[in-house]
Structure 1
């Protein structure tokens, strides 16, 4: 019996059978798993018992497909493969084999011995780098299968190379990478050209050479029609209005919350900031820092971010090093003003909330410890939490009295939290896809709320100076330029596929009006 699909989900199925293989880019919480299973069901009708499907997923999502099969009572035999000894028997008797990316890398040669009707790569952006084994193995598996389906909400995080790398796997054709990159338009940024944003200086090459001025960053597409002819057949991205028509998926209300640091926090932050070379700091503020240079000072920037979460971090790091920091007792460190501001909000509202940080000890774990100390029921959800315990945390959040989940990158994918009303970012990640993935935990078709609030916490020093939070937000917007250009170029898409990032360019002029409040928290107008 076929699954009852929404219109945009049916479009995915139709396009798959028209092209034979497909990259399906759907926003989080819109039923990618259901779409994949409907495609498998129809393939089984076509090929009968000879249908053999391999589903590759992140380890923490292995049970999702099996659970969905049970939920819809589909006549599909599936088995989760955790040991290589299961493979032969499962291949002979089952229609669907579910494995993790880790298993795929370890037993690649064994998997390549089998012929597959369909390879499904859930969260296919795990293979967006051509230098990784994920890409190499998945590409070989694709050549050994009749069809391929890639599922993701984040095909581009930093550069268009990631998008075309995924398309190599989808099409099984390496030439699509070079042809696609020739259609990308660039501009040059660097120290000697601080007005690059206004000039939009473009080049005519598809490569990314370095120059004395800086580097070339992608900003758009030279020939829209040629781009559509090249990749349009292989990619499906729904028009955002089709998702809105459902009426059950909440909208996002985005806010920027200004957090003023006290004297001690300001002193600690400025001490950490002094470690960034002067010219790099200037380029970071102006938005002209190159990606290559950004990678070189990444550890210093991360130290500044963690100092804004706890002013004790930088002094502990200086004294004991990173290894010593990892072994330290988190209860001995004081939380920063950001964590205290979120705690105040949680106390006043009592609403279900996600608090995200890229950092474990001086982010999610410190916040979780502080919230529980204040009597706010909170749990940490990170890579250190066992799979069974993760399920218990989600159940407590959805059905019980758990108010807060303190989340790290381990919870970016696969979590369904439809009762969540608020998402706080203690620190900004390095690209917008993480923002969209985290907020997507609450943006489900089955959501219980008409909207979800997303809060960016921007710290300001005691003397009113902006911090690294604002500079990184501008970096995120810069990286989103090419993502939006590629999405807008394809027929079914608009630029805003998932979450509209809040627009904020620094402190507003002083006004006699009192600042607006969002449930007890002041934020700039």
Structure 2
């Protein structure tokens, strides 16, 4: 039968009981048991025969409100499809796409840089958190946001060479991202390929600043090496293209770039010019003075921070804003209102007329509430010039119950034979210091330090003529290069006495003291994990041999082990693994050992920062123990141990984190070390000189802390930011694994029902095999967009194990594994396909929810959801939720969001709603919610227009300054070439100036275009929801 009454061939129809289920009438029908069944095509491989009485035509021009008024309600899956698709497009500004996407623990402060980065008009930020708070993780969160929001493809990480493998491992283990470690030659090849095919090249590359910086000698035509070629290519690309080569550059340990005259700084500057976004990571942005911070900010934005005087002027302005914000935030009582008014009156130009007026209106109402104080202080903070460039978090601000450090100094005395050897060799070394050079002094100190670490290990080292390079660098930071110094070192192998190594080992008093400490710890807790640190490789090897012979279960790690050390750490961390790890601080660099709470310093490093690094391996976020125990083995017979123990107790390093004292320590540590071998000094003189140096160190440290305290609020307004992050977490404003699972399941059920989706073992793991038609269409998508993440789902003839929760661990399997998140190509394809089928969406739902976690009164609610979209220099896109009991007052925005999200996640379709709901009363409540939404949207639109105008004006000024800076640099070069008589190449550089001016015109045209904003509110969904039984 070709047609039936009321329905034509091809008519779009839906189920009366489930209006969200829409299909097309094929024209075929049949009579069964007196009922007419129509053949309805709901999608590929989904054709069903439905009773005619259960179907109705889909009206051609039916609005969302028409559906509501006529009671054509779908269910929670219809609502889920709309909200999840909107969320997974990757462009909502009030959703964290990096949250819940990694195998990491949630800490609110780690999303502060993400929030700042999203809101930043420049895409450049200095992350200056203290050691141990997770700067690496924070920076990768930013990368994940860029992948989701902008389809970012190319990331370059620049770090010290010793940290390259740590970065590679963190990306793999925590974020399932593959990265490649490259040198200058390989990096150049990757970038050249990216320049040729930008849309087809995706990578994460890791390199060291030492390996790519081009010194002046590298530019010599006779020695033009890969570093110079790389920097030359980057300079050329910075001028030729409007689209940067890189989406993001991350520079770790950026404080090494604080001198703007170095090759490292210049190389970092060239990288900045070739990247759309830039992150600098440094735990020490402020050290001896503000100039360190200025140079880092200059690297971020040379146009804004062109000279130190301007920086200081901005600091003065900033301090006024800080004072006003702090007065409002912390002391906004009636007594403080006069002070606020005075600040506003004297600084209205700095604060801004509009904001000053808003503050004045607020305080005229009387005492301000907590929410008003936080919001006003945040708005003031947004006027802070530095706030957009810096994120600073300190441990004391974010860790409520900080780990207590419990130090214990374990003293021992030499045997008579040990003391004889020590005293004799000490005098020998001091006598040798008479003909010292600067470096050989440190060699002598290193010899002395070896004895302090372990007499048997030191004398074996000397006997075997082992190299001293590692110890000089690891312990004293000295690089051995000069031939004369090497000659002096060789002379020091000729000791004035014979040493009985067997006797020294048999009666090693320091080792016996170590055993004495270890045994009760392991008897009390047989699975205890203990870390023994030493700065000297010889000592580490000696202890490993002795402890192994005495029956202790142990492993060792040293610098230069690469990936092997991570495998060793994994075995050490296991419950049934070894009890003891012996390591140098260099070996443990980049290793997280917070599963242990006991360290033993077999010797003390000469630099306190090395000791802080040791303790920092276990005193970091994730340490489960309330206390960590620090044992320091010290010999009362040696001047070195007495001085160092006193020094470390003075700066309180064993009881609390000292931050970073690298710059402060420099010369003071050198003085302490050199005094130890000065033959003109007695031990009493040495201790007195040490006391003077320690006092100087203490004073310098106090000054540094005062500077830090004064500057800290310059970096951000924490209350507002942390509140926004906590809201995002509690309201689940991130892509939850359940969202992606539901999206995938609903999509394939609707359009490709031949696809196999089978639960594997864990709730977030599925075996997926696409249907032939799905494979063809997904393959076409991948070929077109060239996604940054590889997938085999469209190619594999076998099932793929898909893991939707990043925290899920899978035992070894032969199955091919893919981790599915918001940026996986499968999800991006589904979102794109859903957007092509807007007519299949049903925006009205009736939901029944029984959910005890919601602290809301049971009842029947009306809800409304609206999408706010605004485009200018930056785009804003936010979903807003509204709900109210029918005939009652609206819920808060947060409660509305919780109710509606819980509805589509955990609710069921409410079939008999009409037995409980007066649709006219529900519609009145809906109208009220819609009025509220449009009023709030109007304020949003006004704020966006004002903010966009401000940003565009700043971008115009920035573009002008950038062009002026580049032109000035080229003109300086032309002047030098004219003086040198190199006339032939001058026209090339004049052409560069013309090109820069052309680029400025293009930029100005772009800015002018974005000055005109576009904004629109879009109604997404509405419906009714029954909460409770």
TM-score range, shorter-chain basis? Answer: 0.5 to 0.7
Distance 1:259 1:53 in 2: 53
2:159 to 45, 57, 67: 57
Distance 2:156 2:713 in 1: 28
Aligned to 1:438: 614
- Check conservation: 2:585, 2:613, Cα contact below 8 A: no
Task: Give the deviation of 1:316 after TM superposition.
Answer: 6.3
- Check conservation: 2:452, 2:640, Cα contact below 8 A: no
Per-residue CA deviations over 1:441-499 (Å, capped at 9, x if unaligned) read 2234333322222233332118x9964433654667627455534433322599xxxxx
Distance 1:171 1:467 in 2: 48
Aligned to 2:411: 258
Aligned to 2:568: 393
The 3 A distance-change label for structure 1 pair 299 and 69 is closer
1:93 aligns to 2:208 (yes or no):
no
The 3 A distance-change label for structure 1 pair 241 and 323 is closer
Task: Give the deviation of 1:8 after TM superposition.
Answer: 1.8
The 3 A distance-change label for structure 1 pair 145 and 388 is closer
Given the two structures, how large is their TM-score scaled by the length of structure 1?
0.66
SS class of match (1:116): coil
Task: Give the deviation of 1:71 after TM superposition.
Answer: 5.6
SS class of match (2:623): coil
Aligned to 1:207: none
Task: Give the deviation of 1:260 after TM superposition.
Answer: 2.6
The 3 A distance-change label for structure 1 pair 68 and 415 is closer
Distance 2:509 2:543 in 1: 11
Distance 1:453 1:45 in 2: 43
1:110 aligns to 2:230 (yes or no):
yes
The 3 A distance-change label for structure 1 pair 71 and 163 is same
Aligned to 1:33: 136
Distance 1:325 1:123 in 2: 24
Larger displacement relative to structure 2 (147-156 or 255-264): 147-156
2:519 to 319, 322, 347: 347
Aligned to 1:79: 179
Distance 2:710 2:405 in 1: 24
Task: Give the deviation of 1:238 after TM superposition.
Answer: 1.7
Distance 2:279 2:462 in 1: 48
Distance 2:389 2:517 in 1: 45
- Check conservation: 2:530, 2:596, Cα contact below 8 A: yes
Matches within 5 A, 1:340-379: 340-350=512-522, 351-361=528-538, 363-379=539-555
Give the number of equivalent residue pairs: 425
1:303 to 424, 442, 447: 447
Matches within 5 A, 1:502-513: none
RMSD value, Cα: 4.5
- Check conservation: 2:557, 2:584, Cα contact below 8 A: yes
Task: Give the deviation of 1:159 after TM superposition.
Answer: 9.2
1:240 aligns to 2:395 (yes or no):
yes
Matches within 5 A, 1:278-317: 297-312=441-456
Task: Give the deviation of 1:256 after TM superposition.
Answer: 2.9
Aligned to 1:518: none
The 3 A distance-change label for structure 1 pair 87 and 468 is same
- Check conservation: 2:594, 2:620, Cα contact below 8 A: yes
- Check conservation: 1:309, 1:336, Cα contact below 8 A: no
The 3 A distance-change label for structure 1 pair 63 and 383 is closer
Aligned to 1:148: 278
Task: Give the deviation of 1:434 after TM superposition.
Answer: 2.0
Distance 1:42 1:396 in 2: 34
Aligned to 1:489: 710
Task: Give the deviation of 1:233 after TM superposition.
Answer: 6.3
Task: Give the deviation of 1:97 after TM superposition.
Answer: 2.8
Distance 1:258 1:153 in 2: 34
SS class of match (1:390): helix
Distance 2:111 2:396 in 1: 15
Task: Give the deviation of 1:408 after TM superposition.
Answer: 1.7
Task: Give the deviation of 1:79 after TM superposition.
Answer: 3.2
1:14 aligns to 2:115 (yes or no):
yes
- Check conservation: 2:113, 2:142, Cα contact below 8 A: no
Distance 2:390 2:469 in 1: 45
Per-residue CA deviations over 1:274-300 (Å, capped at 9, x if unaligned) read 36769x99xxxxxxxxxxx99773333
Distance 1:121 1:320 in 2: 41
- Check conservation: 2:212, 2:230, Cα contact below 8 A: no
1:416 aligns to 2:536 (yes or no):
no
- Check conservation: 2:133, 2:395, Cα contact below 8 A: no
The 3 A distance-change label for structure 1 pair 156 and 43 is same
Task: Give the deviation of 1:359 after TM superposition.
Answer: 1.8
Distance 1:178 1:344 in 2: 61
Task: Give the deviation of 1:356 after TM superposition.
Answer: 1.7
SS class of match (1:424): strand
Per-residue CA deviations over 1:64-90 (Å, capped at 9, x if unaligned) read 55655566668xx75314361555557
- Check conservation: 2:129, 2:282, Cα contact below 8 A: yes
- Check conservation: 1:426, 1:457, Cα contact below 8 A: yes
Per-residue CA deviations over 1:366-394 (Å, capped at 9, x if unaligned) read 22222222222222211253x23212211
Distance 1:240 1:460 in 2: 35
Distance 1:231 1:261 in 2: 56
Per-residue CA deviations over 1:133-178 (Å, capped at 9, x if unaligned) read 5444334323443433222445689998876665554455685599
2:632 to 447, 452, 456: 456
- Check conservation: 1:157, 1:432, Cα contact below 8 A: no
Aligned to 1:470: 645
Matches within 5 A, 1:149-228: 149-153=279-283, 169-172=299-302, 175-176=307-308
Task: Give the deviation of 1:308 after TM superposition.
Answer: 1.3
Distance 1:295 1:178 in 2: 41
Matches within 5 A, 1:312-351: 312=456, 323=467, 334=505, 337-350=509-522, 351=528
Distance 1:460 1:159 in 2: 38
Aligned to 1:226: none
The 3 A distance-change label for structure 1 pair 53 and 431 is same
1:2 to 75, 92, 98: 98
Structure 2 unaligned blocks of 5 or more = 1-96, 101-105, 214-225, 238-243, 316-383, 471-489, 494-500, 523-527, 651-667, 670-693, 716-1029
Distance 1:119 1:302 in 2: 39
Larger displacement relative to structure 2 (9-18 or 372-381): 9-18
Structure 1 unaligned blocks of 5 or more = 184-228, 282-292, 495-525
The 3 A distance-change label for structure 1 pair 465 and 41 is closer
Task: Give the deviation of 1:395 after TM superposition.
Answer: 0.7
- Check conservation: 2:411, 2:636, Cα contact below 8 A: yes
SS class of match (1:2): coil
- Check conservation: 1:80, 1:98, Cα contact below 8 A: yes
Per-residue CA deviations over 1:289-326 (Å, capped at 9, x if unaligned) read xxxx9977333322222111222566667777664999
Distance 1:318 1:60 in 2: 28
